[in-house]
Amino acid sequence: MRLHNLKPRPGAKHRRKRLGQGESSGRGKTAGRGGKGQTARSGSSIRIGFEGGQMPLMRRIPKRGFNNTAFETRYIAVNVSDLNVFDNGATVDETALRSVGLANGPGDGIKILGTGELSKKLNVSASAFSASAKTKIEAKGGKVEVVGRKAVAPAKA
């Protein structure tokens, strides 16, 4: 086999769609742009949500109330059964969970959930624990430590 013998696999290359090549081509006359008007012109683009001068839907809908999504705490969930990958008596924290691949992506902390069974004694430190996860870890003789949570100041009277 030589370089001049190489060619792409059958079906890997597609012909470019040639527009405006006569009526019988299937893409003749208007070349797939419909009738006349703004979108038929070259270089035309209408911004998303534009409704031809009519008040757009996003501006017609009333906007009231408070939305807390910008301030919510987003935890990365890790199940108790997933912690069995660590050795007996190991200390499990966020860096250990990320190095093993149990906690990926951005988050405000890690929350240990109680799904599954734990078979080892572990010292786990995370941002939050579910009640069932806490009891399962402590039942095996392990320790639970809450770290990285911001202290909530009491409301002023």
Amino acid letter, residue 31:
A
Q: Evaluate if pTM is beyond 0.85.
A: no
Fold of 75-146: Ribosomal Protein L15; Chain: K; domain 2 (3.100.10)
- Does the pLDDT at position 113 exceed 90? yes
Domain boundaries, the chain: 75-146
- Does the pLDDT at position 139 exceed 80? yes
3-state secondary structure 74-133: CEEEEEHHHHHHCCCCCEECHHHHHHHCCCCCCCCEEEEECCCCCCCCCEEEECEECHHH
The pLDDT tens digits of the residues spanning 60-94 come to 999 898 888 888 899 999 999 999 999 999 999 99
